[in-house]
Amino acid sequence: MPAPTVVIGVDSSTQSAKAVLVDTATGRTLATGRAAHRVSGEAGARESDPEEWWRALREAVAEGLGRSGVPAASVAGIAVAGQQHGLVTLDGSGRPLRPALLWNDTRSAPQAAALGEALGGPRAWAELTGSAPVAAVTAAKWQWLREHEPRTAAATAAVRLPHDFLTERLSGVPVTDPGDASGTGWYATATGAYDPGILDLLGLDRALLPEVAPGGAARAGGLLAPAAAELGLPSGIAVAAGTGDNMAAAVGLGLGGAGLLDRPVLSLGTSGTVFAATRSRPVSPALSGFAATDGVYLPLGCTLNCTRAVDKVAALLGLDRERAEPGGETVLLPFLDGERTPDLPAASGLLTGLRHTTSREQILGAAYEGATVAVLRALDEVLRACGLDPTEPATAAGTLRLVGGGARGRQWVETVRRLSGRPVLVPREPELVAVGAAALAAGAATGEDPVRLAAAWGTGDGTELPAVARDTETWERVSEALERARAGFPR
């Protein structure tokens, strides 16, 4: 039997790299490799050495190849999906000048606020770029660098996003895609190009930026011989332009122009993320109005504090994460790293409603509830951006796709069901970002539409759980606490 034609999809996330090897004919995952990398920083700082991403990518691909048992000669393409927003500054030889500033580095909050007041204010930014500046966006991080490390900014010969950096190492081509570019703050979804006025405001030379490919499945180039030697792959195979992690997850779910539209997704990971692929260009300052990677749009809401924050609370209480009970009167807002939605970068965790009778399990349950209500409130904004009424689940594309590491946890799933009142679909495929990247690699190798490919593979299929009665009492109690927090914490 001949070896299958294989593509490799890489998910270079905040804390690790995962590489999946996928049979292009069937969509079957043949093997997965993993390798961790480090995040450092305190008091709002979050940084990683981009060279560690490259090392982790190499190790993950090598492990995946070893486990798959397929010959390297059967690999036809590779694509990277990366954590969004990170600022990578390179010297003239393509080497990092400093550790990358990551998406969850909140030191740039003052710069984001100042940018938000420029060019007509947050609404004007949203109308032009799709998003109002927050600490996460790359533009705010570049401004922070200019103010705090001007020599590094002046020495910068190239500015890249995390996935761009890795794609360039693979192909030698400085390229990005509309999806990841739309998270920079200097790419305008209104025009489909970098905005000259914003670049002038930032003192950023257009020549430092990569070209924007038509989509993540566009062929950036062939795999360079040095990279091929390090990876143990054939040189010259297709390297796709790639995209950001959220855009790749949408592809893996079969969401986009050639697939399903206006279907809400909730991703439970280090951050809590909600998004949907839609033809309507989002212009709400309350959202990140991203482009998707295939010509449509991806309105997205993101909370910084999700599974990592709840795990921290569980550890402080000495409990297994599954040993939670409904919080009752207790409300816990787990703003352990500041917050992005709502935009409160200086916020800290809040615990209220304690009684002598309050148990550890209820406090942990309250952490689940606080994180879940925050991200579900962002979902309402996403649905509005799609032209849907969030108060009418039957007409708001009802079923909620639940992905990310938290989707494998019983407490997360049941808390989302209880507080959303929606049917929940948990896809069987656990590595949707990497599989979405694999579909992009297949698109680059074959010319096929990656969303249509992923839909045919069935990687978005899974187990559907029926709706349960919504816990409106808890919803209203936590929402009230969130509104008080927005009024009490400085932005």
pTM above 0.95, yes or no: no
For the chain, the average pLDDT equals 94
| Per-residue pLDDT tens digits for 321-335 | 999 999 999 999 999
Q: Which residues are catalytic?
A: 245
Give residue 278's Cα distance to chain centre: 17
| Per-residue burial over 63-91, b = 16 or more CB atoms within 10 Å of its CB, e = otherwise | bbbeebebeeebbbbbbbbbbbbbbbbbe
Q: How buried is residue 390: exposed, middle or buried, by Cβ count under 10 Å (0-12/13-18/19+)?
A: middle
| Close Cβ partners of 162 (under 8 Å, ≥ 6 residues apart) | 12, 50, 53, 82, 83, 84, 86, 88, 100
pLDDT at 2: 55
Q: Which domains does the chain have, with CATH numbers?
A: 6-246 (3.30.420.40)
Q: If pLDDT is split at 50, 70 and 90, which confidence band does 59 have?
A: very high
pLDDT at 1: 43
- The share of the chain scoring above pLDDT 70, in percent, equals 98
| Per-residue pLDDT tens digits for 24-42 | 999 999 999 999 999 999 8
**Cα separations in angstroms, 109 against 42, 114, 133, 483, 490:** 15, 9, 9, 20, 11
The residue type at 172: G
Distance CA(254)–CA(258), nearest Å, equals 8
* Pairing of β 462-465 and β 288-291: unpaired
Under 8 Å between Cβ of 307 and 270? yes
pLDDT at 394: 54
pLDDT at 337: 85
pLDDT at 195: 98
pLDDT at 488: 75
Distance CA(19)–CA(231), nearest Å, equals 12
